[in-house]
Amino acid sequence: MGDGKSGAGLAALRWLVVRAVVQRVTRASVTVDGQVIGAFTEPGLLVLVGVTHDDTAAGARKLAAKLWGLRVLEGERSCSDTGAPLLVVSQFTLYADTARGRRPTWNQAAPGPVAGPLVTTVTDELRALGARVETGRFGADMQVALVNDGPVTIIIEL
């Protein structure tokens, strides 16, 4: 750390992981072009998923398993325990780099042809595990509404 280089190396390594922001919510919805395309009105999880260049289907499946078993609902229970729904929304801005200047760069975010299928892998794997999953629309301009419960907000990097 003293030479200033090792910290930069560690920061670079932190970008190369599957990333999600998970919020415990009492309700959540996502709207595209004025139409609600995914929603629930009961306790569950809103999950914002970011994909970077080196992410893999195996990492996406690992994230799905982590989300399904994450014990952050009332009474330290998980969606797998309670059947609570998840709203999964792609979010390339989770890989914003704000180290320089005032305008973020998105260089660490994977392009659509890479990111889209991996977000779909997360949702498909959640469904295969038995989850009730609502989704946004990849690449669309989305309005996400939620009521955070707690508040509980967790960053997952796998």
The structural domains of the chain, ordered by start, are 18-157 (3.50.80.10)
As annotated, the active-site residues are 91-93
Tokens of 149: 């419960």
Express each pLDDT in 19-50 by its tens digit: 999 999 999 999 999 999 999 999 999 999 99
Given a cut of 60, whether residue 141 has pLDDT beyond it is yes
Model's pTM, two decimal places? 0.89
Express each pLDDT in 76-91 by its tens digit: 999 999 999 999 999 9
Given a cut of 70, whether residue 7 has pLDDT beyond it is no
Give mean pLDDT, residues 94-99.
94
> Does residue 135 contact residue 89 with C-beta atoms inside 8 Å?
yes
First-residue to last-residue Cα distance in the chain? 24
As beta bridge partners, residue 147 has: 27
